Amino acid sequence: MHHQNLTKGLQRAELARRTGANLETVRYYEKVGLLPPPPRTASGYRSYDGAHERRLSFVLRARELGFSLEEVRALLRLVDERDQPCAEASRVAATHLADIRAKITDLKRMEGVLKTVVAQCGDGTRSDCPLIETLFREKAF
């Protein structure tokens, strides 16, 4: 079924499979400059190597930590261009950490309100629905 999977070149599906990326995402990341364009075979097929695989894994792990594509680009630039990237990289991470904490705070606010109204709704046999009332009431949260 498959051909050269060691030392030669990976095709797109194989790279996607190895990294866990979606097939189309690989092409998308190339288009937006997160993955360098690989060499092509005579017939135009992309041929990836280990460096591509590592880079794509880097991007995917950064995405798992919630970094935006722009932040990932910044981190990749630091990896590529700087010899002492830690200060700048940790600044990017600290900013992102603050974003995440703000999101958590916001979600917890929503959770608190919803937990309360769902409890008030109970088995749903009330004629006045606490959820709907809450949404109609002025600035209740």
Q: Angle at the Cα of 121 (from 115 to 127), degrees rounded to 5?
A: 155
Rule CB under 7 A: say whether 19 interacts with DNA.
no
Residues 15-34 vs a second copy: string with x where CB under 8 A? --------------------
Per CB under 7 A, the segment of 17-25, 84-92, 103-111, 118-126 that binds DNA is 17-25
Q: Which two tokens stand for residue 49?
A: 């190597």
Pick from DNA, a second copy, none: which does 23 bind, CB < 5 to 8 A by kind? Answer: DNA
User: What is the distance between the alpha carbons of residues 118 and 134, in angstroms, rounded to a whole number?
Assistant: 11
Residues 20-59 vs DNA: string with x where CB under 7 A? --xxxx-xx-----------xxxxxxx-------------
**H helices of the chain, where?**
12-19, 23-31, 50-64, 69-81, 86-121, 130-136
Q: In sequence order, what are the residues at sequence separation of 6 or more whose Cβ sits closer than 8 angstroms to the Cβ of residue 93? A: none
User: In the window 62-91, what residues touch a second copy (CB under 8 A)?
Assistant: 62, 64-66, 75, 78-79, 83-91
Shortest Cβ distance from residue 21 to a second copy (Å)? 14
